[in-house]
Amino acid sequence: MGILTDSYKASHFLQYPPCQRMIAYGEFRSGFDRDTEDTRMVVYGIRYLLETYLHRQWTIEDVEKADKFYSTHKAPSFTAFPFPKDLFLEFVHNNNGYFPVKLQALPEGTCVHAHVPVYQITSSGQYAALCTFLEVILTMMWYPTTVATLSRRARDVIEAAFEESAEAGAASLLLPSRLHDFGFRGCCTVEQSVIGGAAHLLNFTGTDTLSAAYYVQFELNGGEPVGASIPATEHSVMTAWATERAAIENMIDRFGDGLFACVMDSYDYMRALSEVLPGVAEKKVGRGGFMVLRPDSGNPVEAVLEALRAAEKVFGVDINSKGYKVPRGAGVIQGDGINLTSLSMILSAVLKHGYSAEAVAFGMGGGLLQKVNRDTMSFATKLSHVTYADGTEADIMKSPTGDTGKVSFPGALAVKRVEGVPTVFPAEGGYVSEEEDMLQTVYDCGPVKKEWPLFRELRARIANEWPALPKKANVVSQPLTDKIQNFKRRRQQ
């Protein structure tokens, strides 16, 4: 833990004024991709950080190794860099090696708007100056929360298309599998694939990221499966056979009585649709299964439409009760170039050309697990309150005149629902009872006894809370608004 922070954090214990207590909190300052019309998000990831990092007990050996590192870290001459070695040794001896802070956090899977604190850190006594030492580790909540929010927004787009063009039975059966996680190979590390892949599984069941599906099933869901996939070819499989037809016929022989997918653009995509597909049609129909056509290059909108037209021509279509065409025993999955924009464009075109959304699925790889960053929803941790050594208390607030989006909240904070919307209040003043406060203690100078809900319960929570939240809302209570205004007036005097 001594080196799981930014370099400058190690010196901050010497920079803060002497204090008895310090409080800081973390928040997302904007909606996904700076969206101001929909600022909802799915909060997820604190459990992994707790169990992986905060529950780790420090030893004297760990402190000595960290001290050895810091002894040569100061620029430009590689000399000793400040490091709170004595404080670390103190909590190793007197706090069983656990980092000495209290951490409160929103329940996993809670749906909130931007600016609602997702966690709050409190440090006290001789350890007060360590309050923000863990900021870097805790800030990493940005990643699973951002992926979970992106995945949920994708589900909204797909669900809207289903509501317009698919029958209710098809929607309940198919919608959970319509966005498939193709992102494993695009991740920087296996750990990233686990964290991001699990966040996606809060909203969908479709995944090829086995690391995440396995972790969630056996670590977070009591062994109950949460993610699934189907047999599918890749280009190396298709090109290993003498012909594409032979490769597809092998798939039909082996998997043709169920779901299977074939990539169709190894050589000539249009020829594969117009010549190869008709050639295997009789065999495919005879097996009775469902064939998924996968384009993997070209314009995503046109590639999907061409596959749907080919499926209609070769296998025929049925017209559902909403008047949209559903290919018989066949569909399309587009896994190249998918993001929220292209997904929306494809579905709009599919419906415009008379096909039901149930005929199309999507695979998202880098766009799901890799093309996000901390700025996607502008995550930050800020100090909000100090009690100085003489007992004087002071609320702390960042308020840069050049960027109002980076204004922070003063004081200890609490979160409670107001007409269903999680809203921020001052923790003091009796505005929020302990039972109402959504910021629950998850760590208090060591692990606390806590029963974490199963993953399927998190899914149910999100499915209930997300659509119930308005797309945007004022989440700052009047008491906190008053406190902010009073703070600003005092600063101007």
List, as residue ranges, the binding site.
Answer: 185, 208, 235, 294-296, 335-336, 366, 374
Q: Are 413 and 426 in contact (CB under 8 A)?
A: yes
Binding site feature residues for diphosphate: 185, 235, 294
Q: Are 385 and 396 in contact (CB under 8 A)?
A: yes
For residue 424, the cross-strand partners are 415, 476
Q: Are 168 and 358 in contact (CB under 8 A)?
A: no
Cα dihedral 340/346/349/353 (nearest 10): -140
Class of residue 56 by CB neighbours under 10 A (exposed 0-12, middle 13-18, buried 19+): middle
Specify the DSSP class assigned to residue 96.
T
C-alpha distances out from residue 48 to 107, 120, 367, 369, 381, Å? 13, 17, 23, 17, 18
Binding site feature residues for beta-nicotinamide D-ribonucleotide: 208, 294-296, 335-336, 366, 374
Residue 492 and residue 417: Cα distance in Å, rounded? 33
Sign of CA dihedral 82, 88, 89, 90: positive
Q: Are 197 and 181 in contact (CB under 8 A)?
A: yes
For residue 25, the cross-strand partners are 120, 382
Q: Are 213 and 184 in contact (CB under 8 A)?
A: no
The string of DSSP codes covering 212-234 is HHHHIIIIISTT----B---B--
Sign of CA dihedral 97, 103, 107, 109: negative
